[in-house]
Amino acid sequence: MSFHATILTLYPEMFPGHLGLSLAGRAIARGDASIEAVNIRDFATDKHRSVDDTPAGGGAGMVLKPDVLAGAIDAVSPEGDPRPRLLMSPRGKPLTQARVRELADGPGAVIVCGRFEGVDQRVIEARNLEEISIGDYVLSGGEPAALILLDAVIRVLPGVMGNAASGAHESFETGMLEHPHYTRPQVFEGREIPAVLTSGNHKAVDAWREAESLKLTRERRPDLLSGDDGQVEK
């Protein structure tokens, strides 16, 4: 079963973007994943192909119309489609590696890329859109966020990474940030590779890596150790 993503966007030409290259590009070429970009504007019903209108109650910006977006969602995700419907939104739940793994284990996703001031709340509720955020900042649209989400998902699909162990010890996979990495030359601008890494003592190497991961996590992301994300303080 391959992972199939349908992206609803006003800018379908933004896809596949960087996903056509490297690991993701090879996965798509093999058929492990597929990406289909559909233009929301194709579902507008007036002669001007309008997709947005002014916000109720006044205010700046424009809002994506619920009837147009609902028509687009229904066309690409009819009743019985098992794929989750996602809305890339700065007010959504933060994207986590655990959610990435869940999506990778499923049949794919329908991803709505918002634009303008936002999306009418009624279509979010009526079409059961799961709002997902990639960070505490605002983009000009949901397309870059969708590309990031898909990059994270495709790379963990079975067989995409040549060595499955490559992803097992990365940041967030174990609940901590990843340890530092080194390679030859032995000395670079006076800085040496830590001796333990060239000692040949694999048990000592594992212990050093775990300690460094814990140190970095405490310094940079103590929230990961606080229990707020289901992790246990070590």
Residue 57 placed within a domain: yes
Residue 234 placed within a domain: no
Distance CA 196, CA 211 (A): 12
State how many domains the chain has.
Answer: 2
Q: Is the peptide bond before 16 cis (omega within 30 degrees of 0)?
A: yes
Please report the pLDDT score of residue 164 as a whole number: 56
Residue 210 placed within a domain: yes
The reply to whether 65 and 138 lie within a common domain is: yes
- CA distances (Å), origin 86, targets 14, 56, 75, 180, 186: 18, 24, 15, 34, 47
Please report the pLDDT score of residue 173 as a whole number: 75
The reply to whether 51 and 130 lie within a common domain is: yes
The reply to whether 25 and 126 lie within a common domain is: yes
Measured at the CA of 125, the angle between CA 121 and CA 127, to 5 degrees, comes to 115
Residue 174 placed within a domain: yes
**For the segment 145-179, what is each residue's pLDDT rounded down to a tens digit?**
999 999 999 999 999 986 554 555 565 777 899 99
**For the segment 116-131, what is each residue's pLDDT rounded down to a tens digit?**
889 999 999 999 999 9
Domain that holds residue 219: 169-225
Please report the pLDDT score of residue 233 as a whole number: 46
The reply to whether 123 and 175 lie within a common domain is: no
**For the segment 190-210, what is each residue's pLDDT rounded down to a tens digit?**
999 999 999 999 999 999 999
The reply to whether 139 and 213 lie within a common domain is: no
Q: Considering 129, 155, 181, which residue would you say is the last residue of a domain?
A: 155
Q: Which residue has the higher pLDDT, 105 or 117?
A: 105
Q: What is the CATH number of the domain that holds 77?
A: 3.40.1280.10
Residue 164 placed within a domain: no
The reply to whether 142 and 191 lie within a common domain is: no
Q: 113 near 8, Cβ under 8 Å?
A: yes
**For the segment 209-232, what is each residue's pLDDT rounded down to a tens digit?**
999 999 999 999 999 998 654 444
CA neighbor of 5 nearest in space, from 66, 84, 80: 84
pLDDT grade, residue 1 (50/70/90)? confident
The reply to whether 135 and 68 lie within a common domain is: yes
Residue 232 placed within a domain: no
Q: 123 near 71, Cβ under 8 Å?
A: no
Please report the pLDDT score of residue 230 as a whole number: 42
Residue 36 placed within a domain: yes
**For the segment 27-74, what is each residue's pLDDT rounded down to a tens digit?**
999 999 999 999 999 999 999 999 999 999 999 999 999 999 999 999
Residue 231 placed within a domain: no
Please report the pLDDT score of residue 226 as a whole number: 81
Q: 171 near 130, Cβ under 8 Å?
A: no
Whole-model pTM? 0.89
The reply to whether 188 and 117 lie within a common domain is: no
Please report the pLDDT score of residue 85 as a whole number: 98
- How many Å is the maximal CA-CA distance in the chain? 72
Q: What is the CATH number of the domain that holds 194?
A: 1.10.1270.20
Tell me the DSSP string of 84-118: -EEEEEEEEEEP-HHHHHHHHTSSEEEEEE--TTE
Burial class (CB in 10 A: 0-12, 13-18, 19+), 215: middle
The reply to whether 105 and 38 lie within a common domain is: yes
The reply to whether 86 and 201 lie within a common domain is: no
The reply to whether 122 and 173 lie within a common domain is: no
Distance CA 81, CA 84 (A): 8
